[in-house]
Amino acid sequence: MALPMPTPNNTPLTREKSRLLSASEIERTLVRLAHQIAEKNSGPALPALIGIERRGVPLAARIADSLGAIEKQRVDVGRLDIRNYRDDLTTHGERPIVAEGEIGFDVTGRDVILVDDVLYTGRTTRAAMDAVFTQGRPRRIELLALIDRGHRELPIEATYIGRVVQTSAQEIIEVRLKEVDGVDEVVLAERATP
């Protein structure tokens, strides 16, 4: 079990409450999601997957590998850093433009699935859609979230959901992936009280 994240004064920011998904459960969930995408998108062209930085990127790559194996064809995978598009992180100045080609392929006329680890308020998804539209006009955008924890502030819903977890405002879902964190697990944590 992971230790709470320390602060500079050595007080933990969060306290882990429970493990929601193990490494094998994450893998099974991603394979299930790949099968759902395959079932919904029959035809010659599979949708492209765009992982939202940070943990959406390795999730998109893993799902693309599974989807490619199921359909016996290559799946385009891109990455997107949306920090500069978040309306709750930057509130002044001009909005920056994503560098041309950041996603890695042309999105115009394509079916695209945005991949994120946790769907919460919907602001990350809205920012990701803004960033995608700076690169072209996709035919359709869908959303895949490993965990949907509710508490939406915007009318955004995922088409593909790994697991729905009801949380309180004090709880946090921590997705840890070996590509970023060295371990695969999803845990429910609680904000530490001062």
Q: Which residues of the chain have pLDDT under 50?
A: 1-3, 7, 90-101
The pairing of strands 185-191 and 14-21 is antiparallel
Q: What is the pLDDT of residue 83?
A: 78
- The DSSP code for 90 is -
- For the chain, give every domain's residue range: 23-165
Q: Which residues have CB under 8 Å from 30's CB, separation 6+?
A: 59, 62, 63, 66, 146, 162
Which residue, 65, 39, 40, 61, is CA-closest to 52?
A: 61
Amino acid at 161: I
Q: What is the pLDDT of residue 43?
A: 74
Rounded Cα gap, residues 125 and 39, in angstroms: 24
Output the CA angle 97-99-100, nearest 5 degrees.
115
From its phi and psi, is residue 177 left (phi > 0), alpha (psi between -120 and 50) or beta? Answer: beta
Which residue, 46, 82, 59, is CA-closest to 146?
A: 59
Output the CA angle 65-118-139, nearest 5 degrees.
60
Q: What is the pLDDT of residue 97?
A: 43
89-97: Cβ within 8 A, 24+ apart? 97/134
Domain covering 23-165 assigned CATH 3.40.50.2020 in the classification: yes
Write down the pTM of the prediction. 0.86
pLDDT in tens, 165-178: 999 989 999 999 99
The structure tokens 């945005």 sit at: 114
Q: What is the pLDDT of residue 193?
A: 72
